Amino acid sequence: MSVLPVFIGAVVFCFGLCVGSFLNVVVYRLPLGLPVHRGFSLCPACGRRLRGPDLVPVFSWLFLRGRCRYCGAGISPRYPAVELLTAFLWLAVWLARAGALLPPAGSFPPGEVLRAAAMLVLVSALVAVIFIDARHMIIPNSLVLVILAAGLLLCFTPAPPTLAERLIGLVCVSGPLFLLAVLSGGRAMGMGDIKLMAAAGLCLGWPGTVAAFFIGAFLGSVVSVAAAAGKSRKLGGRIPFGPYLAGGIIICLFYGRILIDLYLSLF
């Protein structure tokens, strides 16, 4: 195996950890209406400003044993979880696109670079969606716009799906979901989920978007049944759908074509 792909993969993983650290800021501040692009990182418990040694992705949490060095308050394991999930998704993008980015000539084709960049933006935004919606049951419009921007970038790449499939993807799932929300008075489906699937449609095209929705619905059903069986949630309580939809989108981003072909081969 060539050393270059391994080295680039390690660098991508480290960058993913750093982006995950920034996403922790987004996950914490965005639902509270706080600015995510300025201001110092503070301990949520004591308000002390966190310094460099406190902010090293994953390692600071492990070194401090999940506690603030100043007040001893517990630090949620969500922080290293976001960082590691982001890093592994960034690495997955590199592994998925390395063959196209590093052809025998060793060049970086502009179209493939743009595609990889759009995929990195997409998975990063979806990580934020997962953790924000799981806690606050909202999907901020700003994240939907980031996902939409990733879809627009993908429209300028030569790889499938086609532009027509992407445009159909905008409405093929979000349209019926919007109708369901109107008919149910907003009880059956939230607008955040609808906007998320519309933006995902531009990224995946209509076949991938339909597959992502059904995968998300399946994941959500399994978790809901398991939670009800374990009595960890009250029956009839609201359950955030966004994390499962985001999971379906991520799965289809990498394996959508394979899953669709596998499904069609059954008939």
Residues 85 and 57 in one domain: yes
Residues 69, 22 share a domain: yes
Cα separation, 267 vs 193, whole angstroms: 31
Longest distance between any two alpha carbons in the chain, whole Å: 62
The confidence score (pLDDT) of residue 234 equals 47
Number of separate domains in the chain: 2
- Nearest CA to 204 out of 214, 216, 212, 196 is that of 212
pLDDT in tens, 55-67: 899 999 999 989 9
In a domain, 101, yes or no: no
Residue 235 has pLDDT above 60, yes or no: no
Q: Of 92, 119, 137, which residue is a domain's last?
A: 92
Q: What is the pLDDT of residues 100-153, one digit of tens each?
A: 777 665 567 888 889 999 999 999 999 999 999 999 999 999 999 999 999 999
The candidate with the shortest Cα–Cα distance to 146, out of 251, 18, 36, is: 36
Per the structure, the complete domain to which residue 206 belongs is given by 109-267
Based on the domain organization, do 75 and 137 belong to the same domain?
no
Nearest C-alpha neighbor of 208 from the set 154, 163, 262, 251: 251
pTM, two decimal places:
0.92
Residue reference for tokens 């929300």: 181
| Of 92, 121, 152, the domain-final residue | 92
Do 176 and 76 reside in the same domain of the chain?
no
The reply to whether 131 and 160 lie within a common domain is yes
Task: State whether 55 and 154 are in the same domain.
Answer: no
